Structure 1
Amino acid sequence: MLVEFSVENYRSFKERQTFSMVASKKKTGQDSNSFPMPNVKSLRLLTSAVVYGPNASGKSNLVRAMQTMRQIVLQSATGMQLGSRWNIEPFRLNADYQNKPSCFEIIFIEDNIRYQYGFSLDQERVYEEWLIAYPKGRAQTWFERNYCSEEQEYDWYFGRGLKGEKERIKGFVRPNSLFLSHAAQNNPPQLGKLFLWFSSKLNLIPSRFQYSYKFTDLKFDISTNYSDNFFKLIKGNDFGLSNGIQQLCEIGGYWINALDNGEILIIDQLDRSLHSEISTYLIKEFNNQAANQNNAQLIVTTHDTTFLDRDIVNQDQIWFTEKGSNNSTKLYSLLDFQVREDESLQKGYLKGRYGAVPFVIGLDS
């Protein structure tokens, strides 16, 4: 389960921006669009969220930041050699930030335990890495490393809550790799399951996603593994016709796996090649307690204002991105605005009441 994700000094993100899946405590709609956070009775987590914003406002960069963090975790131990460089792009419109590391932090829940994990790095070096666990509802720092530029070495801290051969694993860690990734390769049960969360529970479909199935693979997979609900979506369609059908079949596998296994599915530009009714159906299934019995979560970026309907999403499920005066991305929630209960969210957004809409100059001006 995803609780929060934060990013700083990465592509269009300058200052730290935080995306949250914590439901609002005030009544903003249907409780069916959220579920209780394990071991925290006072908080609930959202089943879905939609992110709006004009082109080049940073929507895709939010997904890309999550994907980059996941990739670094999965590849730093086995895919990077000493001296290799990460493809990290800091905020380039400020000279001071070009020389600062990028920072990623994620808060998530696995096996009913909340974890807060993050790191800062540039193309050549990890400067900080930390993991805080809440096994009994109280914070325990399991490990932390900080690079000291004067001594050109790391300060390490290991908490008593973290078991295993910590000192031996520390010897494998390179300047450009993560302790979490190396620990997972050495099979400590505590950190191994966190690595598996990144690899199997956090699923992302970027906007430039390439279809991985062939026509024959689709027929085989659908006929044996896909649910009855998915058949309803594709019934009557010819697999050789459109990009939309291909995208639907590709997303369908991730969609069903997420619902069946309680995974997180993040899709950039959900409306790409998909009809609004199909996209709406995908979102509603995550908000449907009968269909989503394992507390799966869906996050999408989109331009489709059809989803700005109180029968689909609540106010706390709607997020926006827009560029500020310094051309950096600001990420904010619809909760930041006073919205009347009878107000049309779609009309309010299109009129620019919440920001995050393109400024169009007339062709005749």
Structure 2
Amino acid sequence: MHLLRFTFENHKSFRDEAVFDLTRSSLSTLRPPKDTTWADHIHHVDGIYGANASGKTNVLDALHYAVSAIGASATAWLDRPSFVRRPFVLNSSSTSEFSKFELEFVHDGERYQYQFTTNPDGIIEETLRVVNVRWKTIFTRSSDGVVNGLSKLHLVAPRELAFSRAAQLNIPIIKPIWKSIMRGFDIYRVGDREVSERLERIARQLHERTLSLNELVTLAQIADTGITHIEVEEQPLPPKIAKLFTQLINENSEDTDAEASEQQESSEDTEELREFIARNLLFRHGTGSGKLRESEESTGTMAWLALGTTVVNALRHGHVLVVDELGSSLHPQLSRLIIDWFEDPEINMMGAQLIFTSHDMTLLDAGRGDREKREQVWFVEKGADGASELFNLSDFPLQKRSNIVKQYLEGQFGGLPYTAPSLVYNLLNTHSTEEK
């Protein structure tokens, strides 16, 4: 799938409407012009820059929220005590006002527009449209849950999207589109937890042989890590530990079944616990026989393998990869390499897209040159009222050879922190006074 445009309003630090447009200015019609494809008219890399706490991550969070609602509002979300929602909270009126989310995307060569509106109680509006000659409505949903346009679905609960419910019911016109969205986005969050979870997935994929060991080693060699071999170490739970866990479970159990039944369940629990396997990666460097565990490798190496495998998967399948803080724990050249892969049509043959946030100013060189390049650079700035604003580099009048990095650091585009370094003297003096 391809993402064309994402619009949202009243989500976290974004009180007002924000439009994140990934189409090139060359696309002025509902369909690509003759002898061109969608891949010719979309951005394959878009970067979002701004100060700490400006709201960069909240752009990605809004996208994640919309995709999550489509995926889980008719299932897991219904088990929650209240409707999942994250409105702007710095004024009292916004918490009770509606929030809006809209996705324009391409599935199976067709252009779709899906939008839904929420309030504190649930969904108040929902529409899915497709381009025929003009926009054609597939279904609508009203605030009272009435669905029009789907023969097998006429009414939904206030807190569930009709889109999500229709997918659960396997309605033919909806399910393939829903799958395209669910499988088409991969959201990579910054932090050790994300890296750890991705590495666990890598170990599992290596064990299941859905990921090639040679591919992983090649990825490590691309980054000049010195790794020459990788293997999976498996550590089953020892029988004694499994038995101890079983005893603890039984002691805390409120089950009052007969003794024979308890013994049978205990045996089954023990067997199940024995099958628990912890998988870790082992790394060999050079020609030596020694091996290093994950914990003994550098943070940068682990971050590269976790993100690199995700990047390769996105490129292979044409996914939209969303990365918070691209460059975290990575050398700038590796971040640049990832961007180059997405920009190279000979590598990115499936038309995958990369959306990222970053503080790395060198990546802003993507905005150097003509207008089409500038369209790929976005800024987020937070006002005095705490509300974030999203704007594009192409909004500024710039010459072709403009030094984007220099002008950004000079504050010509906004999106910079307004620091007050002299306040450190007050901080130190206060500490000294307290000691006296």
Shorter-chain TM-score: which interval?
0.7 to 0.9
- Looking at structure 1, the residues matched to 349 and 29 of structure 2 have their Cα atoms a distance apart, in angstroms, of 14
* 1:154-187 deviations in Å (ceiling 9; x for gaps): 45432xxxxxxx243234x211001111111222
The answer to whether residue 122 in structure 2 is matched with residue 121 in structure 1 is: no
Cα distance change, pair 247–157 in 1 and its aligned pair in 2 (3 A): same
Cα distance change, pair 36–24 in 1 and its aligned pair in 2 (3 A): closer
Cα distance change, pair 281–312 in 1 and its aligned pair in 2 (3 A): farther
Of 378, 382, 389, the match for 1:319 = 378
Of 173, 176, 185, the match for 1:190 = 173
After TM superposition, give the deviation of residue 343 of structure 1 in Å.
1.3
Aligned residues: 342
User: Per chain length, whose mean CA-contact separation is higher, i.e. which structure has more relative contact order (CA < 8 Å, sep 6+)?
Assistant: 1
Q: Could you say which residue in structure 1 is the equivalent of 2:404?
A: 345
The answer to whether residue 158 in structure 2 is matched with residue 168 in structure 1 is: no
The unaligned stretches of length 5 or more in structure 1 are 26-34, 148-152, 159-165
Of 33, 36, 40, the match for 1:41 = 33
- Looking at structure 1, the residues matched to 358 and 205 of structure 2 have their Cα atoms a distance apart, in angstroms, of 26
Q: Could you say which residue in structure 1 is the equivalent of 2:390?
A: 331
Q: Could you say which residue in structure 2 is the equivalent of 1:140?
A: 136
After TM superposition, give the deviation of residue 143 of structure 1 in Å.
1.1
After TM superposition, give the deviation of residue 39 of structure 1 in Å.
3.4
> What letter corresponds to residue 348 of structure 1 in structure 2?
Q
Instruction: Tell me the SS of whatever aligns to 1:81.
Output: helix
- Looking at structure 2, the residues matched to 53 and 68 of structure 1 have their Cα atoms a distance apart, in angstroms, of 21
After TM superposition, give the deviation of residue 190 of structure 1 in Å.
2.2
After TM superposition, give the deviation of residue 248 of structure 1 in Å.
1.4
Instruction: Tell me the SS of whatever aligns to 1:360.
Output: coil
Instruction: Tell me the SS of whatever aligns to 2:339.
Output: helix
- Looking at structure 2, the residues matched to 176 and 331 of structure 1 have their Cα atoms a distance apart, in angstroms, of 29
Higher mean C-alpha deviation, range 260-269 or range 221-230: 221-230
Instruction: Tell me the SS of whatever aligns to 2:137.
Output: strand
Indicate conservation of the 8 Å contact 1:82/1:175, yes or no: no
- Looking at structure 1, the residues matched to 15 and 30 of structure 2 have their Cα atoms a distance apart, in angstroms, of 33
After TM superposition, give the deviation of residue 66 of structure 1 in Å.
0.8
Q: Could you say which residue in structure 1 is the equivalent of 2:269?
A: none
- Looking at structure 2, the residues matched to 233 and 92 of structure 1 have their Cα atoms a distance apart, in angstroms, of 43
After TM superposition, give the deviation of residue 14 of structure 1 in Å.
0.6
* 1:313-352 deviations in Å (ceiling 9; x for gaps): 8211100000123221100000010111111111011110
> What letter corresponds to residue 186 of structure 1 in structure 2?
L
Instruction: Tell me the SS of whatever aligns to 2:159.
Output: coil
- Looking at structure 2, the residues matched to 227 and 132 of structure 1 have their Cα atoms a distance apart, in angstroms, of 45
Task: Specify which structure has the higher proportion of helix.
Answer: 2
> What letter corresponds to residue 195 of structure 1 in structure 2?
W
Indicate conservation of the 8 Å contact 1:133/1:141, yes or no: yes
Q: Could you say which residue in structure 2 is the equivalent of 1:81?
A: 78
- Looking at structure 2, the residues matched to 357 and 343 of structure 1 have their Cα atoms a distance apart, in angstroms, of 18
> What letter corresponds to residue 95 of structure 2 in structure 1?
Q
The answer to whether residue 333 in structure 2 is matched with residue 277 in structure 1 is: yes
The answer to whether residue 231 in structure 2 is matched with residue 223 in structure 1 is: no
* 1:216-249 deviations in Å (ceiling 9; x for gaps): 5587645155494664125415653222222211
Indicate conservation of the 8 Å contact 1:5/1:18, yes or no: yes
Higher mean C-alpha deviation, range 124-133 or range 203-212: 203-212
After TM superposition, give the deviation of residue 189 of structure 1 in Å.
2.7
Pairwise mapping of residues 1-365 of structure 1 onto structure 2 (< 5 A)? 1-25=2-26, 39-41=31-33, 44-81=41-78, 84-134=81-131, 136-147=132-143, 153-158=144-149, 166-171=150-155, 173-208=156-191, 209-210=193-194, 211-212=196-197, 213-214=199-200, 216-217=203-204, 221=211, 223-226=213-216, 228=218, 231-233=221-223, 235-237=225-227, 240-310=296-366, 314-363=373-422, 364=425
Cα distance change, pair 230–112 in 1 and its aligned pair in 2 (3 A): farther
Cα distance change, pair 219–232 in 1 and its aligned pair in 2 (3 A): farther
Indicate conservation of the 8 Å contact 1:315/1:334, yes or no: yes
Cα distance change, pair 311–234 in 1 and its aligned pair in 2 (3 A): farther
After TM superposition, give the deviation of residue 80 of structure 1 in Å.
3.1
After TM superposition, give the deviation of residue 360 of structure 1 in Å.
1.0
- Looking at structure 1, the residues matched to 16 and 125 of structure 2 have their Cα atoms a distance apart, in angstroms, of 17
Indicate conservation of the 8 Å contact 1:205/1:266, yes or no: yes
